[in-house]
Amino acid sequence: MEVPWLLVAHGSVTALVVVSFLCGQWPIFEGTFVQSINHFLNFGAYHYLLRFVQAVCGNGAKDLVLGVEQYCCDRPNPILQVFYVAIIGVTYFIIVQTSFEYIPGYYVSGWHRYLSIVAVAVGAILFVLTSFSDPGTITAENVSQYVSAYPYDNVIFVEKECSTCKIPRPARAKHCRICDKCVARFDHHCGWMNNCIGEKNTRYFVAFLVWHFLICVYGALVIGFILAGELKERKVIYILTAYYGIENSFSGLFPHVAQWLLAVHNTQILLSVFLAILALLLGGFCAYHAHLCLTNTTTNEADFVKNQNIRCLSQGDMKCYTKWENEFN
Ligand SMILES: [Zn+2]
Ligand SMILES: [Zn+2]
């Protein structure tokens, strides 16, 4: 079988860039080239782009790029929300257009047509709930309730005033510079939701992550069963072994079955690979947030401890490192 090397190379490079960009800072990638690519994409690439734009188009163009960056990264904006809706909409549309004709199939019953709509609708509801609910905004009126609800630990959180809001900042809260407000039990500012994740909407956010992980696994499995049904109904294995004399073993049949699937069902193969990659990424996020939930920690606090640890390690101070490790666990 002729291997479509270009397709394999393109897929591998895309996967490497996406995984490096999204997960390069995870502890398991520390010291690897995945972390280096992440660093380049996050810091180096933008720096070089700015220098390139300035050299080619002058200072005005550089200011324009800086302005766009400020709008996209430093202020609330719906770009990633629109992107999310587009990804979900386009993916579901392609699935309906290309794969619903195989439902019901040999292994897939007809009610998956309706279950898929319910799955996407629930995902959309969780998205709206997380995006548009109050994350726990702290105001002069409610600040005293939050201060008594979250006692200061005098380790990470000491009693002080928010210099922007001019109100006391309760423990575990943080001033979000993008939303320009203090948020109780601040987790992080989520660009995808165009909203902070805090005390009041963390549950929706975690439900959103888990649900989208499940949707991706569900989609990849159903497409897998559609393909298995096609192999069965079209008697592909039988034809290969009986008519083409292919050896009836996994290693003998695999290249020929893969070739047939890529030729006849390339859209389904691409969809299932796309969903499987998304499921892996979302699974990682779910596991991380499950760990945070179980240890009653926020992303903000975990990042703080991580930065303290990096500082201790860089100074070779193992005693201080152990102290932060114990503080966290
Ligand atoms: Zn504030
Ligand atoms: Zn925010």
Q: CA-to-CA distance for 319 and 259, rounded, in angstroms?
A: 58
Residue 253 alpha carbon to ligand 2 centre in Å:
53
DSSP string, 250-298: HHHHHHHHHHHHHHH-HHHHHHHHHHHHHHHHHHHHHHHHHHHHHTT--
Write down the catalytic residue from 176, 190, 216, 312: 190
Q: Taking the model in full, what pTM does it have?
A: 0.82
Q: What is the pLDDT of residue 322?
A: 64
Q: Which ligand is nearest to the CA of 188?
A: 2
N-terminal to C-terminal alpha carbon distance within the chain? 53
Per-chain residues with Cβ under 5 A from ion ligand 2: 176, 178-179, 189, 196
Residue 163 alpha carbon to ligand 1 centre in Å:
7
Residue 190 falls in the annotated catalytic set: yes
Query: Residue with structure tokens 């895309």?
Result: 14
Q: What is the pLDDT of residue 115?
A: 97
Residue 100 alpha carbon to ligand 2 centre in Å:
39
How does pLDDT run along the chain (329 residues), one tens digit per residue?
455 676 677 778 878 888 888 788 788 888 888 888 888 887 788 888 888 899 989 889 889 988 888 887 788 989 999 999 999 999 999 999 999 999 999 999 999 999 999 999 999 999 999 999 999 999 999 999 999 999 998 888 899 999 999 999 999 999 999 999 999 999 999 999 999 999 999 999 999 999 999 999 999 999 999 999 999 999 999 999 999 999 999 999 999 999 999 999 999 999 999 999 999 989 999 999 999 999 999 999 998 888 887 788 778 777 776 666 665 54
Identify the helix (H) or strand (E) that includes residue 73.
Answer: helix 59-74
292 Cβ contact list (under 8 Å, min separation 6): 187, 298, 299, 302
Provide φ and ψ at 188, rounded to 5°.
-165, 165
Q: DSSP secondary-structure letter at 87?
A: H
66 Cβ contact list (under 8 Å, min separation 6): 50
Domains in the chain: boundaries: 1-74, 136-185
Q: What is the pLDDT of residue 325?
A: 61
User: If we measure between CA atoms, which residue out of 181, 167, 151, 196 comes closest to residue 300?
Assistant: 196
Q: CA-to-CA distance for 16 and 32, rounded, in angstroms?
A: 12
Count Cα neighbours of 212 within 13 Å in the Cβ-side half-sphere.
24
Task: Report yes or no: 43 and 24 within 8 Å, Cβ to Cβ.
Answer: no
Rounded (to 5) percent helix, strand, coil in the chain: 70, 5, 25
What is the bridge-based pairing of β-strands 188-190 and 195-197?
Answer: antiparallel
Identify the helix (H) or strand (E) that includes residue 94.
Answer: helix 79-99
Residue 55 alpha carbon to ligand 2 centre in Å:
34
Q: What is the pLDDT of residue 279?
A: 94
Per-chain residues with Cβ under 5 A from ion ligand 1: 162, 164-165, 175, 182
Residue 107 alpha carbon to ligand 1 centre in Å:
55
